[in-house]
Chain A
Amino acid sequence: AQKVTQAQTEISVVEKEDVTLDCVYETRDTTYYLFWYKQPPSGELVFLIRRNSFDEQNEISGRYSWNFQKSTSSFNFTITASQVVDSAVYFCALSLKPEGKSTFGDGTTLTVKP
């Protein structure tokens, strides 16, 4: 069985601060996919990134960056220079396939204050 743990339930920062959201996963499979999603108050999950287990290269996309470390089973997400619009619930998820049947963490609620 797969498990995703997001230990941080809520994080509050002031605008322009950097913030890192932690994600630790468990799986016995050697091939798996990790995801991050953003869920704004409107409720719609927005895909942010997908990483497969064979690609440990870190990725940067604008103010977003992801650090994937298989040695610690972690897939952390950093927002640089946070903005109020970043306020949302962020979910980390794991799947044995590129699509469908994802196991989600409980989510981290990020509040960015002006």
Chain B
Amino acid sequence: KAGVTQTPRYLIKTRGQQVTLSCSPISGHRSVSWYQQTPGQGLQFLFEYFSETQRNKGNFPGRFSGRQFSNSRSEMNVSTLELGDSALYLCASSLLKAGTGASYEQYFGPGTRLTVT
């Protein structure tokens, strides 16, 4: 079974530009979460999507947005990039048990390393 895939793996952008990162969850997984990892702030939750709906959102400015498609693939977008947005962006998918809302563990992708210059 293929794991969580994220594209691209590496990205270099210039301050002020916008960027879109993509995440394909494990087949059958409908919950997708995004995290930002930086040396200074550690791992921070960005948002979570389930069935194309955002269920939770972390404390990030509105420049960070995301969406989920009907096939559970998810994208996150960062507009007007700042130097501080340089980070490893991790996506995780989960399989939710029908009817209970409970789930199995999160499976993480390899991440997209974004560098803003």
Label chain A's interface by main secondary structure.
loop
Residues in A47-81 with C-beta less than 8 Å from chain B? 47, 50
Q: Are A45 and B90 in contact (CB under 8 A)?
A: yes
Closest B residue by C-beta to A44: B110
- Tell whether, in the assembled complex, residue B43 and residue A91 are in contact, meaning their CB atoms are under 8 Å apart: yes
Instruction: Tell me, rounded to whole Å, the shortest Cβ–Cβ distance linking B101 to chain A.
Output: 8
In the complex, residue of chain A having the shortest beta-carbon distance to the beta carbon of B100:
A98
Q: Please name the residue on chain A nearest to B31 by beta carbon.
A: A99
Question: Beyond A100-B55, A101-B33, is A44–B109 a contact (Cβ under 8 Å)?
Answer: yes
Point out the residue from A42, A43, A99, A103 that lies within 8 Å of B106, measured CB to CB.
Answer: A99
Residues of chain A lying within 8 A (CB to CB) of residue B35: 104
B58 touches A44 (CB 8 A): no
- The binding surface of chain B is classed by DSSP as strand
Range, interface on chain B: 20 to 34
Min distance, Cβ B53 to any Cβ of chain A, angstroms: 12
Tell me the chain B residues, 33-58 only, with Cβ under 8 Å from chain A: 33, 35, 42-45, 48, 55-56, 58
Which residues of A93-113 are within 8 A (CB) of B? 93, 97-107
Assuming the A-B contacts A44-B111, A45-B108, A50-B105, are A99 and B42 also in contact, with contact meaning beta carbons closer than 8 angstroms in the complex? no
Determine whether the beta carbon of B106 is less than 8 Å from that of A47: yes
For B108, give the chain A residue with the smallest CB separation: A45
The chain B residue sitting closest to A103, CB to CB, is B45
Kindly state whether residue B64 has any CB partner on chain A within 8 Å. Answer: no
Complexed CA–CA distance, A107 and B43 (Å): 9
CB of B92 within 8 A of chain A?
yes
List of B residues within 8 angstroms of A47 by Cβ: 105-108
A14 interface hit (Cβ, 8 Å): no
Q: Are A100 and B94 in contact (CB under 8 A)?
A: yes
- Residues in chain B within 8 A of chain A (CB atoms): 31, 33, 35, 42-45, 48, 55-56, 58, 88, 90, 92, 94, 96, 101-111, 113
Q: Give 11 CB contacts A-B under 8 Å.
A: A42-B110, A43-B110, A44-B111, A98-B103, A98-B105, A99-B106, A100-B94, A101-B56, A102-B33, A104-B42, A107-B42
